[in-house]
Amino acid sequence: MNYKNFPMVPRVIFGRGSFNQLNDIIAPKRLNIHAPFIFLVDDVFKNNLWLTSRIPTSYDDRIIYVSAKVEPKTSQVDELVEDIILSTKERPSGIIGIGGGTLLDLAKAVSIMLTNEGETKDYQGWDLVKNPAIYHVGIPTISGTGAEVSRTTVLTGPEKKLGINSDYTPFDQVVLDSELTKNVPTEQWFYTGMDCYIHCIESLTGTYLNTFSQSYGEMALQLCEDIFLNNNLSKIEAQEKLMMASWHGGMSIVYSQVGVAHAMSYGLSYLLGVKHGIGNCIVFDHLEEFYPEGVKTFKAMKKKHNINLPKGICSDLSDKEFDIMIKISLSLEPLWENAIGKNWKKVITPKKLKELYQKM
């Protein structure tokens, strides 16, 4: 047995308003005045002075606004890296991602690709990154993905949707300021929060689970149930708790894996560009046979918050399109093995997946 020696985020600050301390945190990391900080910021914050006026830019620092409406792509990372290289006098002092999973994953990937040659798609997989990334900071503005703490950055490439999993991927610093999540629209809040809930269910019922991941997963799950089913939390409490749920949920994956919902959702995302959070929800809603208790609770949460998931998104697909989704999904072997066990191929056939996708 060989255990993973997991890299944890080495610095974390938690607190309402801690975003105000960003300058104190990053200033000592500035290499020189020609090596700027690059802030990758979700473009929903463009013209939002409450946030942008507090981004501590100096010298040649740049803010690059990025839309999170589409899932992050390897080609997008390549373009950002090229733009940064061409526009800076020296290699940047650091990349600071401000946003949800999309922006956080972009920040991680860009920081890696600034020190590693070639194209981003070549690094999708496990432990393919050779050189340490440049200093990178993650500042979530929506909670649930666990991207702030994970060892991966999930990207859609020309051939696959797959993470860059490496010891250099995790952030060097995370700022957990729940106030930044205060204006998230309800549906987005729900879908992203459910990403956390769903990966806890997948982790806790998986075959890979050990005590380390179990304790984090149970904590995150309890927090999710508290947030999405109970009525007695203040808004601030709910925001703070969801931020911690996302953190612990991400840690739960360390010695575990996600499962059926993620494996199938990757297919939807690859073919149809369905965003990760909502994609997981669309899939999970149909997974009673794999996660009976989890799906029951999920439906209760959905009802409580009046969430109407899109229906029939696969109804007009051709056989060829189904095959593409099925191929993407089946390629995620560790997810299936975690969910079903070593003999998963006996249960999960292309036919089975097609039947499931047809329900969605």
**Contacting residues toward a second copy, per CB under 8 A:** 1-18, 21, 25, 173, 176, 178, 210-212, 215-216, 218-219, 222-223, 237, 240-241, 243-245, 248, 255
How near is the Cβ of 250 to a second copy at its closest, in Å?
Answer: 13
The backbone region for 331, taken as left when phi is positive above 0, alpha when psi lies in -120 to 50, beta otherwise, is alpha
How near is the Cβ of 295 to a second copy at its closest, in Å?
Answer: 25
Contacting residues for 162 by C-beta, under 8 A, at least 6 apart: 124, 125, 154, 155, 331, 332
Report the residue number, 65 or 212, with the smaller CB distance to a second copy: 212
How near is the Cβ of 133 to a second copy at its closest, in Å?
Answer: 14
Report the residue number, 215 or 230, with the smaller CB distance to a second copy: 215
How near is the Cβ of 162 to a second copy at its closest, in Å?
Answer: 24
How near is the Cβ of 325 to a second copy at its closest, in Å?
Answer: 35
Report the residue number, 74 or 143, with the smaller CB distance to a second copy: 143
Sign of CA dihedral 332, 95, 278, 159: negative
Rounded Cα–Cα distance for residues 15 and 108 (Å): 23
What does the block give as tokens for 104?
């956080």
Residue with tokens 């179990």: 214
Report the residue number, 116 or 178, with the smaller CB distance to a second copy: 178
- Locate the DSSP E strands across 75-177: 94-99, 125-126, 136-140, 154-156, 161-165, 173-176
How near is the Cβ of 209 to a second copy at its closest, in Å?
Answer: 12
Report the residue number, 18 or 116, with the smaller CB distance to a second copy: 18
The backbone region for 93, taken as left when phi is positive above 0, alpha when psi lies in -120 to 50, beta otherwise, is alpha
Contacting residues for 316 by C-beta, under 8 A, at least 6 apart: none
- Element spanning 65, H or E: strand 62-66
Report the residue number, 68 or 243, with the smaller CB distance to a second copy: 243
What does the block give as tokens for 235?
């808004």
Report the residue number, 17 or 185, with the smaller CB distance to a second copy: 17
Residue with tokens 């208790």: 293
How near is the Cβ of 142 to a second copy at its closest, in Å?
Answer: 17
Report the residue number, 189 or 357, with the smaller CB distance to a second copy: 189
The backbone region for 17, taken as left when phi is positive above 0, alpha when psi lies in -120 to 50, beta otherwise, is left
How near is the Cβ of 170 to a second copy at its closest, in Å?
Answer: 9
Rounded Cα–Cα distance for residues 167 and 151 (Å): 7
